[in-house]
Amino acid sequence: MRRTARSNAIIAVIGYGRIQISPHIDSVITEFYINTIGSYWDKERKYVDEHYANIPFPFEEIKTPYFVNEVQWTIEYFVGYLNTGLL
**What residues contact 51, with CB distance under 8 A and at least 6 apart?**
17
Every domain of the chain and the residues it spans: 23-83
Alpha-carbon span 44 to 6, nearest angstrom? 29
pLDDT of 20-47, one tens digit each?
Answer: 899 999 999 899 889 998 999 999 989 8
Alpha-carbon span 59 to 80, nearest angstrom? 37
- pTM listed for this prediction: 0.66
Q: What is the separation of C-alpha 54 from the centre of its chain, rounded to a whole number of angstroms?
A: 13
